[in-house]
Structure 1
């Protein structure tokens, strides 16, 4: 019963994050940032890693300065690294099941965001490193709208950075075009 109450409270935090994200997408960036920071204060720097990952991921999008955006995206990645499949399934024996896939599915987007941050900061080598990590992690993404969108965004970033790969090793990059 206590686990069920904890899960319900956890879902409530994710719902609240989602509501603030809708506010941000509606155009109220300042208010969204304020509310997300309030949630960050509420859950704390040592709170549930999924909450911290999600909050930091969205807080990055509300920042005005590239350095601040990078700092939040790095917090999101750090929190993701603390996640376990048990967080998603409630079972410890799910090493290669749904929970493990859910944890790994966060990485392509997180690394892609870091690549974009480093581009904004003029740090091409760091951007290339993260876009490679995003591509390497993309195999776990589903064949759905989200997965297709993340893979397409990775490809666009690869093109921007000159990282496209025209080898035939299963990489999902568009063919090179001649000018």
Structure 2
């Protein structure tokens, strides 16, 4: 098993745990994040999942911003073992940020990230994961247009992965 496959397996286990025990899952992911000395793919992925386990939108935003910053330097060499190109991270990362900003009533920032998510969505496959992200894009876009700040289940990392 490669390092990437091992990381993804650990993350899948912790994400499953997070559905029933958010605090323990958050602590485990924070430990993974502090130990992540590999290339930027590990911190990006861990921060992406950590965002979903936060109790406040402000904390979720902080972790989503960390994930995006790390994603900017992730290479295809790092993601090939996970079965996708590095650019495929961007639609999900940007739509999560759009949703964070929407819930904080920062609609200009939300629109900016929604636009970035839409512009990068062309890299998504014609599969269940691609459909999921496109659906989230639609729902977040509708909520932004309605100036709705309520929490809704939009985050792909808390749902079934394709």
Instruction: Calculate the TM-score normalised by the size of structure 1.
Output: 0.75
1:50 aligns with 2:45: no
Tell me: higher relative CO, structure 1 or 2? Use CA pairs within 8 A at least 6 residues apart. 2
Query: Structure 1 regions of 5+ residues with no counterpart?
Result: 1-6, 91-98, 164-179
Shift of 1:10: 3.1
Distance in 2, matches of 1:106 and 1:9, equals 19
Cα-Cα RMSD = 2.0
1:156 aligns with 2:150: no
Counterpart selection for 1:102 from 78, 82, 85: 85
Distance in 2, matches of 1:74 and 1:10, equals 22
Helix, strand or coil: the match of 2:72? Answer: helix
Query: Structure 2 regions of 5+ residues with no counterpart?
Result: 147-162
Counterpart selection for 1:119 from 102, 116, 136: 102
TM-superposition CA deviations, 1:65-85 (whole Å, max 9, x none): 111110100111111111112
1:37 aligns with 2:30: yes
Runs (4+) of structure 1 exceeding 4 A deviation are none
Distance in 1, matches of 2:3 and 2:123, equals 28
Instruction: Tell me the equivalent position of 2:6.
Output: 12
Aligned residues: 146
Larger Rg: 1
Shift of 1:103: 1.0
Instruction: Tell me the equivalent position of 1:67.
Output: 58
Shift of 1:89: 4.2
Counterpart selection for 2:18 from 24, 31, 47: 24
